[in-house]
Amino acid sequence: QVQLVESGGGLVQPGGSLRLSCAASGIIFSLNAMGWYRQAPGKERELVATFTLGGDTNDADSVKGRFTVSRDNAKNTVHLQMNSLKPEDTAVYYCNLVQRMTYYHTPVNYWGQGTQVTVSS
């Protein structure tokens, strides 16, 4: 199994910055990708910024130029640097890891418990 532990959420004023971190532990295959999703009240969970299994990044249009996803493969960690935060960025942010044992296996998703980010004056 895989465990994901997030940290770094909190309350910040509009225009401020936060950095989220997520550490993965357990059985981690080399074919994996990590990233971030978020869910605001009354809305569905949406992609924020992730790495793909091919190593590229995939960012939501709403965060391009403001958020940057990075990872440390050796430590199985992923970070989300969030700058110029807006009230509409308020949500629970979830760390995601998707992995497959080989290219012939179905990918499996794992989720962290979520961390609250609130942008408000």
> What pLDDT is attached to residue 1?
86
> What pLDDT is attached to residue 70?
95
> What pLDDT is attached to residue 77?
95
Per-residue pLDDT of the chain in tens (121 residues, 90 and over written 9):
899 999 999 999 999 999 999 999 999 888 889 999 999 999 999 999 999 888 899 999 999 999 999 999 889 999 999 999 999 999 999 999 999 888 898 989 999 999 999 999 9
Neighbours of 29 (CB within 10 A): 13
> What pLDDT is attached to residue 53?
81
Query: Which residues, other chains included, contact 110 with Cβ-Cβ below 8 Å and sequence gap of 6+?
Result: 2, 3, 4, 24, 96, 97, 98, 99
> What pLDDT is attached to residue 47?
97
